Structures are given as C-alpha cells and as structure tokens.
Structure 1
Amino acid sequence: MKEYHEINLDEEPCIFPDCGHFLTTSSMDGQMGMSAYYDMDEEGHPTRLSKTSEPFSLDKSGIPVCATCRGSLRNIARYGRIVRRAILDESTKKFLAWSHEQYLSLADRLIKEEEKLAQGTAGHAGQHNTAPSGLKGGQFIGSAQRLKQLRELQRMVGNERYDSIIELWRQIGRHAKNVRLEEQPFQRVADLVQFANRENKASREEFRYDESVVQVKGSLLADALLLKCEIAILFDFHRWMTRGGLAQAETEVKLDLSAHWSDCVRLVEQSRLRKYVREEVQGHIFAAQLCGLCLSFGESASMWSANKGAKKEQTPDSLREEALSHIQQARTLLSQYPSTASFQGEIDNVEMLINGGIYRRVTAEEMRAVYSAMTSEFSGTGHWYTCENNHPFTIGECGMPMQEARCPECGARIGGQNHQAVAGTRHATEIENLARGMNGLGL
C-alpha cells in the first residue's frame, strides 16, 4: 500500500471523505463497485448508467461507508447516486416492515371486534381503541358515503354496538392511505424531484425507477382488511335484522354495495397482476360474500352500479352465478398454491350461504391461523431476499440459504443449498432492529 507522498495526484487523484481517511479514486471506485452501475471508459471514468434501478440492488454491503471507520460518504458527489440508492433500499425495507407490523396489529384487533359482535358484548363504554402509532391523518379518500352508510346501520340498531368496530374501520382506512404508491420511498423521491424541477424551471430528466421496486403488498393487505371489516359489520347487521330487529327500525334498509364490489374487483386484478395469490383468494371470497349479502337482503341491497360498469341487471340467478364463479376461482388457486390452504373454511362457508344454507362465520382461531404464518415474514433477524416475482422475505439464523422452499406468495422456488441461493432469488442487505414506527420517511 502506497503512502500519500508516493502518490502522483496528477495521475491518480485521491478522494477525502469527511472522516479524514482517504483512498485513490481507482481504489475507492473498486470499493464502491462503480463498474456494477456505470459503463466505464478505458481510463476508469464512468460514462453512463449501465442499468436501471432494481429492488434491493446493493445486496452485499448496504449503504456504502468508509472502509476504515464506517464514516459517511454522502457528501462525495462522485458516489452520490450509489449512496442515495442504498438509502432508498433501506427506507423501502423499513416501509415494508412497518406496514406489515401495522397490518398485523389491525388484523388482530379486527378478530377481537368480531368476537365481541358474536358474543353480543360490542359497543359498551370503555371498549373504544386508540389508533396505533403512525395512524394519523384525515379521513381516507372515498370513505364519506360508506361511513355514512355504516352510521345509518348503527342508528337503526339503536345502541353503541358498532362504535368501536367503525372506529377501527376508519383507522384501517387511514392505514390503507398511508401505504399507497404515493407514500412509498421511491415515489416520494420522484415527486420531490418533479416538484424541484418545476420550481426551478429546470429541464432535467425526471426521476425514474423500475416499477418492480414498488411494493404493493401492504396496500393490498390494507384494502383486504378494510373490506373484511366492513363485510363483518354487514353480516352482523343481517343477523340482527333476521332476529326481529328490522321490525323495530324506523326506516327501510337500503344498502349500496357498488363501491365494495369495485374494491373487490380491483383487489383481485391487482393481486393477480403482482402474483399475490393469498390476496387474490381473499378478493374472490369477498366478492362471493357480497353476492351472498345481496341475496340475503334482497331488493334492499344493490351491488352493480349502472354508472361504473357494463353489468346493469342484478337478479338472484346472476348473483348466484357470479358468486359461484368466484368460489371456483378461489378453489382453483387453493389447489395450486398450498399457502392459501388456510382460506378453505371461509370458502366452504360462503359456498354454503350461496347454496341456501346458513352462513357460519369463521372462528377466531381459524382467523388467527391465517395471520400467524405472516408474523415471521419480515422478522428482521437475517438477510433480505426477493423471489423471482419480486416478493420480499427474510432468512433468519445466519441469514444465508440452507434449504429450498417455496415463496408463500406465488410458489416460486426460494432459499438454496449451502449458502447458495436458487436462480431468480435476489439477495438484499442485512437489516436488524427495524424502526417500529415511522410517521414519515426522512430521506
């Protein structure tokens, strides 16, 4: 290793980070892996970007730092793109872990609310729950009419039965807003760059990124949980109605489920597009449940809006046909993907309803079984990977793959043998002690 006085700075310039340690440009370029991200000329200078951004692309060293003291390299313009790209990767991982934790917390609370409805203990004083950390903000977009409908059901029941579960529904809605595309790190940076260019009247190229870096699972899970919560209220209201409650009501029941139906269709389509089969199965179940609700409420409930789609006629036969189609699609997915087996009971129950039987709600134990397998997906105890369809997961213990398995989302091969990952699996950096609450992502 050369000493500083031995280096000809005209031929081999040096780079001096804030920490005081220094390396020659060629050594620092090698340490930073410049050739992996830029096309280099014969003299070792970068000429252009060599590839588009990929999720978790800095998969070995994390955010680049000084090799001697691990000091920051953020102020070195030559490596700014690489450092900021790594920061975005880390922010995306934290976003995933945070949204996943919030979802599981809300899902557990929904189970408890459904238990209270089943036991007839819902709505009593002292049972209101406060929003978990990070769930702040205004009412989510498009909720006004649906909230008004829920409040009307509450008024007809005539007590505080739905107070706490409606508040939970609103919190799930706010969470759904917080995990949308526009809240994800890459999209937020793209929006900031666009705003800065517009303010400075600059003609710079906009910030672009590979769409595979956008993680939609959090949004799909939130949408599914929102539908599940609202459908639980509707089924409970139907039980109240069939037990003689309607005779005490002052007004006629009139339900508009067209927005719920649109959400179901969108959930199925987006899940199928991104190969999230568990969420796709849930979308089919919700669609069949909505058909069952319309059949149960008769002419008092409408599902297909003439203004939002081609289907304008709603008859018992058409509803049964639609429901059975979704049930069949859900069963097909169950036969193809073992990770969806926990939804078998829900599918059986809704099919019984469609065929004229009595709808039996899934027990709390069955619902917890659905969520229990998800608790370790982003445990943060090892290294991060993505399968060939860009579904992220972590490997614990030493963090290296020791056995082959199947991605719980799409069934693709994951893991590996003897620390060697299978083809198509992308290795991402180790993360531990992830932030458990993020009111924002300071990039």
Structure 2
Amino acid sequence: MSRSNLDGVMNLGQHFRLLEDGRAVAVQDQAEAFTVVVQRCPECRSPVQNLQRYNRIWRQAHLDESTKKFVAWSIKAFVPLSQAVDREQHRLMDSAMSTAEAPRSIPGVEESVSIDLRGSFDDIFEALRDTPSLGGRYRRMNDLRRRINKYAEVVAEQEQPYGRVFSMVRNVHIQQGSTTTMEQDKTVLQTKQRILATSLRIRCDLVILADFVKGRQAHSKLFTQKGDWRSIAVRVDFSQAYEVCLGLLRDADERVLPMQQVESMVSFARLVCIERSLCSGSSEPVHLTDRVVQASDLIFEAINICHTKPGSTGGMLEEVEAVQTMLRGGTFYQAVSSDEKRDIIAAMAREVSGTGHWFRCPNGHPYVIGECGGAMQQSRCPECGETVGGAHHILAGGNARETELEEEFLRLRM
C-alpha cells in the first residue's frame, strides 16, 4: 500500500497541513474530542502506532478511548455510592437517637459541651463526629464520606486521561525552562463526574445534619434538666457551605446539567431550613432572613426547571416541593429521594454498558445506542433534554458520532 493511500485511511489531512508532496508542515486545530477512530492497515489489519507519521493520531484516538472507559467506570462506581447514602439515611431515620447518644454537658460547668457548626462541610461534620456520644452514631456515615471523597479524588479533571497527559507535558515545558503559558482544552475533560461527586458529598452531609437536628428537637422536648440538650450551645455559621452549594450550581449551569442544577438549589434551601431550626431565640437573624429569600428564589427556579425539563429531572419535583413547604412553614423534617429518582440513578450504570456505539448530544453529553448502533429513533438526552438519536441511521441535528469502542469494551471489566 502506498503512503498516500495510507494517509487517506488515517485521515492525515484532518490533523496536519500537508504540502503537495505529502510532507506535514504544521498541526491543524486539535480534533474534537471523541472523533478520532483507531485505524488499522486495511491489508494486514495491524495497528499503525509504530509508524511515526501516524503516531500522533493513534495517541489521540487511544486517549479518547481511555476517556470513555473512564466515563463508563465513573458512572458505575457512582451508582452504589448514591444508593449507600439512601440506605444510611433510612437507617438513621429508622433508629431514633437514644438518650445515651444525646450530647450532654457536665452539671455545674457552664457550657462544658458546645458544638460549633462552622466552616466547610468537612469542618461541620468533624464537629459532629468529635462531639461526645455522637461519633458512634455517625461512624458508618464517616466511612461512607471517606469513600465518596476517594471517588471525588479519582474523577477529578487532573486525574482523567487528558488531564494526566496535560500535566506531564506541562511539567516537561517547565523543566525545559519554557515561559510559554499552556492552556488546557477543557472540552475534552469530563466535568460531570466531579459535579456528581460534589452533589453526593453535599447530600451525605445534609443527611447527617438533618439527623442531628431531629435528634436535638426530640431530646430538647423530652429532657429539660441541666446537662441535657437545652443547656448545650450550638453555634452555626454555614456561609462556606452555602458557597459550596452555589459553586455546584454554577458548574451545573455551565455544563447544562438540569438534574444537578435542581439538586444544588434543593441543597441550598435544605441548608437554610437546617440553620433556621438550629438558631435559638424568638427572632430570626437578619442574615438568615436574607438566606430564606434567596432559597425561595432558587426553589422557584428549580420548580420551573422541573416543569420544562421533566425528562432530565425525574423524581426531583417531589423533593423541591417538600423543601418549599419547609421554607414556607418553618417546620423541619427529613426529606428522602423519591423512588423515581432512585430508579434513574440505578439505570445510569446500565446506560453505559459498553455495547453499541457512542454519540454526543448537542451539549456534549455522551450516550450509547445499542443493538446495531445506528440511529433509528429519537429520544431526549437524560442530562439536558436535547433531542438525541435520529431516524433511518441519520443523526438528529447537533448530534455527533464518537469513536467506536467495541473491541476495547469487550475486554473491559468493571
């Protein structure tokens, strides 16, 4: 086979500017992520990665494939973590906080036990975990939080295939004394996994805080003598935690993820309800009144998203309306995920089973068409609600084909 024929097979002209004699003189704009196909020699079916002329193309194709493996693994790893949070929430709800678990101060010693719920979510959880008698109740949640944090570290952008390669190239430039500023193409990074991890961490911590509030309310009514709940100071400052919720909302807005947009709004509003339940005194602090107004605006927006994107926010409307009721009435209670939402999360792992072909919706969210792998019907992107699929093997507008991974996924073991 001639060089020009093999150049055509490898689509060399899409990656390099070529002279008439076939010499490559410059790199074209970087090919869009997930569009490079691993080609083989049409005569012997051997890979061509050992040929320097095509090595760059081969490397990018395999980076694309590695990223898709990462997407499939990350979703399958996320599902059991989300289900574990639901199980622990129900366990805490079913086991009322016992008298022995309730924090107590020492009679005669002014505020010998106080609980400072301030700083980041990690700081808040550590304050509860380190409170005498509460550590045992939240031991399993502590283990689950560690698992979620580990997952968040693994799915961070810098740990993804493209992120790792970028870090290595940047380190080489620094070692060589280069002063050129390197900018990473963020379109090749999968930010959804980090967003999912952040949302799950917030949900886990809100379950713990809600359990603490319910236990405090119950024991404050039952035990009123010196040394019980009513004599224990609880100091609250959730300003950093609110910013985490708003940061999650900004990320979800940028990535066009309606489900996570609504989750971040609900988390913010639930945090406001928790703070209001923990604040003592007959009058509500001014800053908390402002937070209630802000949360109400977010919940109104969340309801609108649920109505306009029902396919992408299945099961969330029930949670949104429950939080809205708490904001209006001031009564706090534990909110749980709906059956519909749990079913959607469980289905996530099945949707990336690796069979069929990969495609991207107009907003860049990956999806898989099974069986023959051709577009035979239209549907809605589960992430953003855009039209996906197509008809008669013709993709709907804005959708794009991704690299075929059949051979790689057949060998992939999750």
Task: Give the alignment's TM-score, normalised by structure 1.
Answer: 0.79
CA–CA distance in 1 between the matches of 2:288 and 2:60? Answer: 54
* Structure 2 unpaired stretches of 5+: 99-117
Which SS does the other structure have where 2:38 is aligned?
coil
| Structure 1 equivalent of residue 115 of structure 2 | none
Q: Does 1:377 align with 2:354?
A: no
Kindly indicate whether the alpha-carbon contact (under 8 Å) linking 1:402 and 1:415 is maintained by their aligned counterparts in 2. Answer: yes
1:365 is aligned to 339
Matches of residues 216-235 of structure 1 in structure 2 within 5 Å?
216-235=191-210
Mapped pair 1:39 → 2:17:
yes
Letter in 2 for 1:90: E
1:296 aligns with 2:263: no
Which deviates more from structure 2 when the two are superposed, residues 225-234 or residues 397-406? 397-406
Match in the other structure for 2:151: 175
Aligned to 2:54: 79
The answer on whether the counterparts of 1:169 and 1:229 sit within 8 Å (CA) in structure 2 is yes
Q: Does 1:192 align with 2:168?
A: yes
Residue 257 (structure 1) aligns with: 238
Distance 2:26 2:143 in 1: 52
- For structure 1, list consecutive stretches of 5 or more residues without a partner in the other structure: 1-22, 124-142, 301-312, 438-443
Q: Of residues 295, 305, 322 in structure 2, which corresponds to 1:323?
A: 295
In 2, are the aligned partners of 1:39 and 1:49 still within 8 Å (CA)?
yes
Deviations 1:359-415 (A, max 9, x none): 342256355234134233322111111111111111111111111112122222210
User: Quick check: 1:425 aligned with 2:399?
Assistant: yes
Number of positions where the alignment pairs a residue of Structure 1 with one of Structure 2: 380
Question: Tell me, what secondary structure is at the counterpart of 1:253?
Answer: strand
SS of residue paired to 2:368 = strand
Specify which of 348, 368, 380 is matched with residue 406 of structure 1: 380
Output the CA distance in 1 between the equivalents of 2:123 and 2:363. Answer: 40
Task: Give the secondary-structure state (helix, strand or coil) at the position aligned to 1:290.
Answer: helix
AA aligned opposite 2:306: L
Question: Amino acid of the residue matched to residue 177 of structure 1?
Answer: E
Identity among equivalent positions (%) equals 30
For 1:387 and 1:239, locate their aligned partners in 2 and report how far apart those are by CA, in whole Å: 43
Tell me whether 1:213 sits opposite 2:191 in the alignment: no
- Map of 1:99 onto structure 2: 74
Report the Cα offset of residue 182 of structure 1. Answer: 1.1
Deviation at 1:184, TM superposition (A): 1.6
- Asked whether 1:344 is paired with 2:321, we answer no
For residues 307 and 76 of structure 2, what CA distance do their matches in structure 1 show?
Answer: 29
The answer as to whether partners of 2:357 and 2:368 remain within 8 angstroms in 1 is: yes
Deviates further, 360-369 or 342-351: 360-369
Q: Quick check: 157-166 or 262-271, which moved more?
A: 157-166
Query: Corresponding residue for 2:141?
Result: 165
Moved more, 290-299 or 114-123: 114-123
Alpha carbons 1:94, 1:434 under 8 Å: kept: no
Taking the aligned partners of 1:173 and 1:259, their CA distance within structure 2 comes to 18
Aligned 8 A contact 1:149 1:255 in 2: no
2:357, 2:369 within 8 Å by CA — same for their partners in 1? yes
1:202: how far off?
A: 5.8
1: CA distance, partners of 2:243 / 2:288: 19
CA RMSD of aligned residues (A): 2.6
Partner of 2:31: 53
